[in-house]
Amino acid sequence: MEQAKKLLQEVGIEPERVEMFNLGASDAPLFVAAVNEMTERARTLGPNPLRREKVA
């Protein structure tokens, strides 16, 4: 994951757009928390710059 973040950063894309969460199949509350966190991050960062045309 660190390597993936590094590669994105080199390109000019915010590394926090990608994350890995270790969850068990029964960890529903943790799954919800992870989804909420990534949703919040995506909202804060805005649309993926590589998909800007589609968003526009």
Rg (CA), the chain: 13
45 binds another protein (CB under 8 A): no
23 binds another protein (CB under 8 A): no
Q: Between 32 and 52, whose beta carbon lies closer to another protein?
A: 52
Tell me the number of residues near another protein by CB under 8 A: 8
7 binds another protein (CB under 8 A): yes
Distances, alpha carbon 20 to alpha carbons 23, 26, 34, 54, in Å: 9, 17, 9, 26
Q: How many helices (H) and strands (E) does the chain have?
A: 3, 0
Contacting residues toward another protein, per CB under 8 A: 7-8, 10-13, 49-50
